A and B are shown apart, each in its own frame.
Chain A
Amino acid sequence: AQRVTQVQPTGSSQWGEEVTLDCSYETSEYFYRIFWYRQLFSGEMVFLIYQPSFDTQNQRSGRYSVVFQKSFKSISLVISASQPEDSGTYFCALSELITNTGKLTFGDGTVLTVKP
């Protein structure tokens, strides 16, 4: 069974600081993807970045990057130069490729507050 855990229910930073949000997961599959989404205060879910399990290189997209530690089944989202507009809830989600259904298993999220 797959499971995603985000142990930090909340986090905070000051404007301009780098923020790291942690996620761990359980899966018996070798091929999978880890996605990061941000939920705005309106409820909208916005895709940020994803990491395929077979890629040893940490993915980057703009101010977002990940630190992928496959052997520990953990992945962190790093937001550089955080801004108040980055505030919201961040979700980590796992998709197993072997079944190829595309469905995501989500963690419970981390609520980030970036202070001006």
Chain B
Amino acid sequence: EAAVTQSPRNKVAVTGGKVTLSCNQTNNHNNMYWYRQDTGHGLRLIHYSYGAGSTEKGDIPDGYKASRPSQENFSLILELATPSQTSVYFCASGDLWGQNTLYFGAGTRLSVL
């Protein structure tokens, strides 16, 4: 069974503060992704990675940075958090070879006050 673990599960941050969301996968998948989900909407891609050391911009990268220090770990960084970044963030991993199903973590609920 695929395993993607996100931490923290809930986070309250102050405007202008730095926030780091962490993701760990034990699937040995090359690709990892960060999405955000706003209430009543689908997931939108922020950043993704093909492997350790690589990060790519997704559809809504502004205000976010990503870091992939290893195959297993992928972080999302908000250097200067704003209230508009209040959302639920999902990490996912996937392997391009095969059917390329993405496996999602349980999500991190972030509130920026």
Contact = CB atoms under 8 A, between A and B. Distances in A.
- The CB with the most chain B CB atoms within 10 A, among A43, A50, A109, is that of A43
Taking residues whose C-beta sits less than 8 angstroms from the other chain, chain B's interface range is: 20 to 34
Contacts of A103: 33, 45, 48, 58
Contacts, number: 59
Nearest to A43: B107
Contacts of B92: 45
A35 interface: yes
6 contacts: A37-B104, A47-B101, A95-B100, A100-B96, A106-B44, A108-B42
Interface of B: 31, 33, 40-45, 48, 50, 56, 58-59, 88, 90, 92, 94-96, 99-104, 106-107
